[in-house]
Amino acid sequence: MVKVIRGGTIITSSETYSADLLIEGEKIVQIGKNLSVSENFEQFDVTGKLILPGGVDVHTHFDLPMFDTVSSDDHYTGHKAAAFGGTTTVIDFVPQNSDQLIRDVDDWHAKADHKAAIDFGFHMNITAFNQNVADTIPQLIPEGITTLKVFTAYNNRLRLLDGDIFRTMRIAKEYGFLTMLHAENGDVIDILVEEALAAGHFEPVYHALTRPAWGAVEAVARGVSLSAQSGAPLYIVHMNAAGEADQLQYARELGLPVMGETCPQYLFFNIDHLRRPDGAKWICSPPMRTEEDNEGLWLALKNGTIQVIATDHCPFFYDGKMPIQYEGQPITIPGKELGKDNFTKIPNGLPCVGDRLPVLWTESVSKGRITPNQFVALMSTNPAKIFGLYPQKGSILPGSDADIVIWDPKMKIPNYGVNWSHHRTDYNLFEGWVLQGYTDKVFLRGKLIVDGQHWLGNSGQGKYIKRTPFATVM
Indicate the DSSP class of residue 66.
E
Beta strands in 37-189, from DSSP E residues, in sequence order: 41-45, 50-53, 55-60, 65-66, 69-70, 87-94, 119-125, 147-151, 178-182
Quick one: pLDDT at residue 353?
98
Cβ proximity of 378 and 310 under 8 Å: no
Cβ proximity of 356 and 364 under 8 Å: no
* Of 63, 55, 69, 74, residue with least CA distance to 115: 74
Alpha carbon distances (Å) from 265 to 204, 256, 449: 16, 27, 27
Quick one: pLDDT at residue 333?
97
pLDDT band at 73 (very low <50, low <70, confident <90, very high): very high
* Parallel, antiparallel or unpaired: strands 65-66 and 69-70: antiparallel
* Of 106, 92, 103, 34, residue with least CA distance to 60: 92
pLDDT band at 401 (very low <50, low <70, confident <90, very high): very high
Per this entry, what is the length of the chain?
A: 474
Quick one: pLDDT at residue 36?
82
Residue 36, CB-side half-sphere exposure with 13 Å CA sphere: 1
Task: List own/partner pairs for 318-323 with CB under 8 A and 24 or more apart.
Answer: 318/278, 318/280, 318/281, 318/425, 318/426, 318/427, 319/426, 320/69, 322/426
What is the SS3 assignment for 167?
A: helix
Per-residue DSSP letters for 268-326?
H--HHHHTSTTGGGG--SSPP--HHHHHHHHHHHHTTSS-EE---B----SSTTS-EEE
Residue 421, CB-side half-sphere exposure with 13 Å CA sphere: 30
Cis bond leading into 286, ω under 30°?
yes
| pLDDT tens readout for residues 202-259 | 999 999 999 999 999 999 999 999 999 999 999 999 999 999 999 999 999 999 999 9
| pLDDT tens readout for residues 250-302 | 999 999 999 999 999 999 999 999 999 999 999 999 999 999 999 999 999 99
DSSP-H helix ranges across 72-130 = 77-84, 101-112
Enumerate domains of the chain plus CATH numbers. 2-52+395-455 (2.30.40.10), 54-386 (3.20.20.140)
Q: Output the CA angle 310-119-126, nearest 5 degrees.
A: 60
CA 372 to chain centre: 19
- Percentages of the chain per state (helix, strand, coil), in multiples of 5: 35, 25, 45
* Of 78, 72, 28, residue with least CA distance to 51: 28
Q: Which residues pair with 447 in a beta bridge?
A: 444
Alpha carbon distances (Å) from 232 to 17, 89, 169, 198, 398: 38, 26, 6, 41, 33
| pLDDT tens readout for residues 408-452 | 999 999 999 998 999 999 999 999 999 999 999 999 999 999 999
pLDDT band at 38 (very low <50, low <70, confident <90, very high): confident
Residue 166, CB-side half-sphere exposure with 13 Å CA sphere: 9
d(CA 342, CA 344) in angstroms, rounded, equals 5
% pLDDT > 90, the chain = 98
Q: Is the pLDDT of residue 39 over 80?
A: no
The single-letter code of the amino acid at 279 is: G
Per-residue DSSP letters for 349-417?
-B--TTTHHHHHIIIIITTTSS-HHHHHIIIIIHHHHHTT-TTTSS--STTSB--EEEEEEEEEETT-S
Cis bond leading into 142, ω under 30°?
no
Quick one: pLDDT at residue 231?
97
Q: Quick one: angle between helices 242-253 and 213-230, nearest 10? A: 20
